[in-house]
Amino acid sequence: MLYISYDQSAADDYREVSQGQEVNTYYIPGGCRALGPGRMNYFFKFAGPSYSIDTACSSGLAAIEADTAVAGSVNVLANPDNFAGLCNGHFLTEGHNACKTWDTAADGDCQTNKIRSVVIKRLEDAEADNDNILGVILGAGTNHSAEGVSITHPHAGHQAYLARQVLRQAGVDPLDVSYVELHGTGTQAGDFEEMQGIMDVYAPLTKRRTKDQPPHIGAIKANVGHGESVAGTTALIKVLLMLQKNAIPPHVGIKTEINPTFPKDFDKRNLHIPFEITTWLWVGRVDFLDRLIKSGIGFEELKQNAILLITAGSETTATLLAGAVYLPTSHPEVLKKLTAQVRTMFKDESEIALTSVNRFNYMLAVLNECLRCYPPLPLGAPRIVPRGGTNIAGYTIPGSLVGSVTQWVVYHDPTIFADPNRFELERFTQPGVGKYANDRLDALNPFLVGPRNCIG
C-alpha cells in the first residue's frame, strides 16, 4: 500500500506555473496529485492500493494510518502567489532564519521544500521479515480545535484532550514520557496554546515529576523551517534519529529570550528545553524485574515466588507452565516480544492484576496457543449418555455410558484448527483472517475442574 501526502498550496504550484506556458503531454500526469502515488507504484512495481492525502500540515502523519505502507510527504514551493497570500495574512516570518519557535520575537513560520518518506509495517510482519525496526507506533489519533478563535489560534484544551486519548490508547502514563516533539510554528499565539496543552498533560502540577523524571521538549521547525505537508513526517524522523543516537538535540529557536507569555513554572514542573546536546537517559520504561534484582532481592526470594506460583495452581497450572516455557523458548522471536511486553508494561509488581494482564493481547495469544498445543487436562468434562442411547458423528452410543472427549483430540483436529500441530499465534492475534480464518476458537476450553478445584 502506498500513501503520498500533499499540501494544497504545494501540489498546485507546478500546474499553475505550467498554465502560462506550453501545455504538453506531461501537464496532466505531472500536475494531477491523484497520479503521484500511481507513478511511484509503477516505478517500484507496488501492486497494492495507492492514495493521495491532503490534510495540510498533518498530511504526512495522516498518511501513516495503514497496516503496511510507504508513507511519503512532498512539499515543493514553485509559485510566488502562495508566498504573497501568506505574507498578506501575516503567516510568515520577516527574518532570514528558520522558525523562531518559542522566542519572544517569534513572528511566523518559514516555508521550506521537503520530501520525506517512512515505511510502516505491522510489528509482527517486520519481526518475521527481520527488518531494521527503528521505532514502534503504539497509538495515533487526530482531532480539531473546534473552540479555537482562528486558524492561527489552536485550542490548548483540545490538544491536551487528544494527547490523553492517544496515551490511553497506547497504554502509556504521561509521566513516563521523556520527550515530546511539538509543532512549534514560531507564532506568538500558536506557540503559547501548544505549550499550555503540553504542560497540562506531560508536566501537570497535580502530579509532580521527580528530578530524575524530566520531560524534554523540542521542535524541528527551528532547525529546518516549516515543511507544511511534510511537517509531521519530519518530526517523526527526527525522533527516530534521536532513538538511534540516544540523544536529544539542542533547541535553536530561542534567539533572544523565551516567549514571555509562557507559564513561568518550568522548573516547578521539571520541564526542560535542552540548549545543548543531552543524553537521552530514559528511552523506554524501566524494566521492573531488573530494578527488583538491583534493589537487593536475592535468588532464594525469586525461587520462593516461583514455587508459590506453581503450587498455587496445582497440576493444571504446572502443566500449562511447562508448555508455556517450552513453546516460546522454541520460538525466539515470540519470546523476545513477549518478554519485552511483560517486563516493560508495568512500573512495579503492584500493577500486576487480573484486569491489567487481560489487556495484553499478545501475551494472551501466547497462553491460548500454549493451552491449545498442550492442554493441561487429559480429559474433558464427563457426560452421561441418555438411556435410549444417541448417535454422534455416525456412531451409535449405548445409553447410560459415561463418556468425554479428550481436549488433545479436539485441539489437534484439522477440521477444527487448521494445521493443528503448528504453534501459530496468528489464530488469536488475527482471528477470522487468513489461513486460520475458520478456526473454531470457541472450541478452546482448556480449564474445567481439576483434582484440587483448579483455579483456571
Query: In this structure, which amino acid lies at residue 396?
Result: T
Cβ-contact 153, 268 below 8 angstroms: no
Residue with cell 480429559: 379
What distance in Å separates the CA atoms of residue 210 and residue 270, rounded to the nearest whole number? Answer: 8
272: helix, coil or strand?
strand
Q: Tell how many helices (H) and how many strands (E) occur in the chain.
A: 19, 12
71 DSSP β-pair partners: 3, 118
Q: Please give the biggest Cα pair distance in the chain.
A: 95
Cβ-contact 269, 203 below 8 angstroms: yes
What distance in Å separates the CA atoms of residue 427 and residue 425, rounded to the nearest whole number? Answer: 5
The answer for residues whose C-beta is within 8 angstroms of residue 210's C-beta and 6 or more apart is 270
Cβ-contact 20, 88 below 8 angstroms: no
For residue 428, the tally of other CB atoms under 10 A from its CB is 20
5 DSSP β-pair partners: 53, 73
By the 10 Å C-beta count (0-12 exposed, 13-18 middle, 19+ buried), 257 is classed as exposed
The secondary structure of residue 130, as a DSSP letter, is T
150 DSSP β-pair partners: 153
What distance in Å separates the CA atoms of residue 435 and residue 419, rounded to the nearest whole number? Answer: 9
What distance in Å separates the CA atoms of residue 64 and residue 55, rounded to the nearest whole number? Answer: 13
Q: What's the distance, CA 85 to chain centroid?
A: 37
What distance in Å separates the CA atoms of residue 234 and residue 114, rounded to the nearest whole number? Answer: 9
Q: Of 321, 306, 294, 256, which is closest to residue 106 (Cα–Cα)?
A: 256
454 is in an annotated binding site: yes
Beta-sheet pairing, 216-218 with 247-248: unpaired
Beta-sheet pairing, 2-6 with 69-75: parallel
For residue 65, the tally of other CB atoms under 10 A from its CB is 15
Which of 434-442's residues contact partners 24+ apart within 8 Å by CB, and which partners? 440/416
Strand positions, DSSP E, 162-225: 179-181, 216-218
Residue with cell 527503528: 134
Which residues are known binding-site members for heme?
Answer: 454
As annotated, the binding site includes 454
